[in-house]
Amino acid sequence: MQFLIDESLSPQLATLLKRLGYDALSAREAGLKGCFDIKIIEWAQKNNSTINNRRP
């Protein structure tokens, strides 16, 4: 399982998680910068990723 760090959080969080040994990717690294939520959700489903964001 990969962590997808949404744009509402710093891409540095993905970097930190990688350093700690986790599989993580920022939205920017995934080519999802500025995309609508539905595209991010579809990408996460296709790539077996968990979306992490700041929204409640």
* pLDDT, tens only, 20-42: 999 999 999 999 999 999 999 99
The residue count of the chain comes to: 56
Q: Compute the mean pLDDT over every residue in the chain, rounded to the nearest whole number.
A: 96
> What share of the chain in percent tops pLDDT 70?
98
Domain with 16 in it = 2-52
Tally of structural domains, the chain:
1
- 47: Cβ–Cβ under 8 A, 6 or more apart, which residues? 2, 4, 30
Residue 55: pLDDT above 80?
no
Q: What is d(CA 32, CA 16) in angstroms, rounded to the nearest whole number?
A: 19
Would you state the pLDDT for residue 45?
98
Would you state the pLDDT for residue 15?
97
